[in-house]
């Protein structure tokens, strides 16, 4: 049998200084500046937010199909360690490697000469739950 009870409401008011402190803590935790939160930002502030918080990494496969070396053009806005896995079309992990990446642009080569011809995926994971999958084909010699 249900025994209902009444709820006592006792709202409290928060002073402006405490509210400002809490807002700053929440924004800081999520990496969002006040101008971004208030939608009153400059183009420079938005670009810094986007590159530093949202799109910290971009990866481009430079040629497809690939014969010997995967050439990855990487642009990172933060220092990062990327976990690279190459997955066959059957779902088997055939190669795994860690790549330290410094802030800025770099070209990374991964030798795949030992792989047989066919379809593969590069699975790239990094900091802040970054994950990307890129499909490529390994060409025969």
Look up the CATH number of the domain holding residue 109: 2.60.40.1930
Per-residue model confidence (pLDDT) at position 79: 81
Per-residue pLDDT of the chain (141 residues; tens, 9 = 90+): 688 888 888 888 889 999 889 888 888 887 788 898 888 989 988 887 776 666 677 888 988 899 899 999 988 877 888 899 999 999 999 999 998 888 888 898 999 989 999 999 999 988 767 788 999 999 876
Q: Is residue 34 part of a domain?
A: yes
69 and 33 belong to one structural domain: no
73 and 115 belong to one structural domain: yes
> What range does the domain containing 72 cover?
56-138
Sheet of strand 104-111, all strands in order from the earlier edge strand to the far edge: 57-61, 69-76, 104-111
Max CA pair span of the chain = 78
- Provide the number of structural domains found in the chain: 2
Its pTM stands at 0.61
Kind plus residue range of the DSSP H or E element containing 141:
none
Q: Is residue 9 part of a domain?
A: no
Q: Is residue 45 part of a domain?
A: yes
42 and 60 belong to one structural domain: no
Q: Which residue has the tokens 């509210």?
A: 19
Q: Does residue 57 contact residue 126 with C-beta atoms inside 8 Å? A: yes
Task: Give the C-alpha separation, 109 to 41, whole Å.
Answer: 39
86 and 109 belong to one structural domain: yes
110 and 70 belong to one structural domain: yes
Q: Which residue has the tokens 């992990």?
A: 93
């Amino acid at each position: 049998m249900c025994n209902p009870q009444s709820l006592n409401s006792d709202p409290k008011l928060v002073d402006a200084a405490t509210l400002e402190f809490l807002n700053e803590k929440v924004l800081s935790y999520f990496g969002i500046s006040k101008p971004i939160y208030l939608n009153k930002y400059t183009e420079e502030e938005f670009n810094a937010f986007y590159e530093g918080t949202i799109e910290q990494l971009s990866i481009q496969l430079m040629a497809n199909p690939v014969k010997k070396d995967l050439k990855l053009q990487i642009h990172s806005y933060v220092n990062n360690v990327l976990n690279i896995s190459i997955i066959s079309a059957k779902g088997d992990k055939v190669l795994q490697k860690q790549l330290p990446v410094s802030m800025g642009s770099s070209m990374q080569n991964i030798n795949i000469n030992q792989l047989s011809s066919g379809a593969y995926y590069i699975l790239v994971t990094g900091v802040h739950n970054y994950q990307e999958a890129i499909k490529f084909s390994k060409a025969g010699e």
